[in-house]
Chain A
Amino acid sequence: MRETAYWTWFIIAGIVILVIAGLHMVVMHLPMFGVFNPESGAVTDWGNVAFRSQNQFLAFTYIILLGAVLFHGFYGLRTIVFELGPKKSFQDGFTVILWIVGLVLFGIGTYAAIAAKALETAL
């Protein structure tokens, strides 16, 4: 990917994070917006967690958030490391490693979101 494309996606991912992580904080920390936490008790109680896992909208936004944070975070880490002036061969290798680690973590997080939904359907 060209550097300009990396940077543009980095900014887009940052804005996506701002919106979805903001929504996540409202859902998790402002109980007066109880639409996503119908059970009485804490937002981390299993009943509420199960409800949110079942919700298509939240599951979709969390997967988008996962991808946006991984891209934004790893591109930021890459920028910091590159400013230390490593050789081109190191830069290329580091970029490949970040892509692999990022895709693996994205796979784990996405699998967890889908598996949690399937588990609730089975229960």
Chain B
Amino acid sequence: MANKQFDNHLGIVGWLGGGRWGVERYLYILHRLTGLGLLLFFLMHIFASSVRMYGPESWGVAMAILKNPVFKLGEFCVFVIFAFHALNGIRLIFIELGLAVGRAEEPIYPYKSSLNNQRPLMVVAMVLVAILIIAGGYNTFFGSH
């Protein structure tokens, strides 16, 4: 949905391309998509978990539906997007507060990009996401609960 009022306003199309901004730009897109996914899940979760107020019979019926393997896979997907959204969100808060972005410097040519200073934080965050996903996957599919 391009906006004629602003020539450089690309709307939704602008979200899809990272351009010259690198991997952080794609994390930005993923952060929004995972956020929307989590919001959708949570709205359904409010109603699904509210069934308990109708007593054990209604709860049993709801849980019988949710025992379907499709929901097990869905549960893992929710964990994956939660792990990404949470750790990438912590990274964004760090950057917002000026942590892990390097010291401010005079803008002298050739200019340096602060993205290079931020990148180690991004790498650490994504490694932690990967570890959480592996642990969560093991717990979801092989755990005793």
If A29-B145, A116-B52 touch, whether A85 touches B39 (CB-CB below 8 Å) is no
A21-B82 in contact (CB<8A): yes
Docked Cα-Cα span, A50 to B60, in Å, equals 12
Report if B12 contacts A (CB, 8 A). Answer: yes
- Given A31-B145, A84-B1, A14 and B89 touching (CB < 8 A)? yes
Q: Indicate whether A77 reaches chain B with its CB closer than 8 angstroms.
A: yes
What are the residues of chain B within 8 A of A80 when measuring CB–CB? 32, 35-36
B104 within 8 A of A: no
- The binding surface of chain A is classed by DSSP as helix
A30 B63 Cβ-Cβ under 8 A: no
Cβ 8 A contact of B50, one of A21, A29, A30, A112: A112
Contact: A119 with B53, CB < 8 Å?
A: yes
Report the number of A-B residue pairs with Cβ-Cβ less than 8 Å. Answer: 79
B67-94 CB contacts (< 8 Å) to partner A: 79, 82, 86, 89-90, 93
A37 to chain B, nearest CB (A): 9
CB-based nearest A residue for B75:
A29
A108 B93 Cβ-Cβ under 8 A:
no
Tell me whether A85 and B60 are in contact in the complex, defined as CB-CB below 8 angstroms, given that A30-B139, A109-B50 are known contacts. no
Q: Give 30 CB contacts A-B under 8 Å.
A: A11-B96, A15-B93, A18-B86, A18-B89, A21-B82, A21-B86, A29-B136, A29-B139, A31-B145, A43-B145, A44-B66, A46-B56, A46-B60, A49-B52, A49-B59, A70-B42, A73-B38, A76-B32, A77-B36, A80-B36, A84-B3, A84-B11, A85-B9, A105-B43, A105-B46, A108-B46, A108-B50, A112-B53, A116-B52, A119-B55
Residues of B in contact with A (beta carbons under 8 Å apart): 1, 3, 5-6, 9, 11-12, 32, 35-36, 38-39, 42-43, 46-47, 49-50, 52-53, 55-56, 59-60, 63, 66, 79, 82, 86, 89-90, 93, 96, 136, 139-140, 143-145
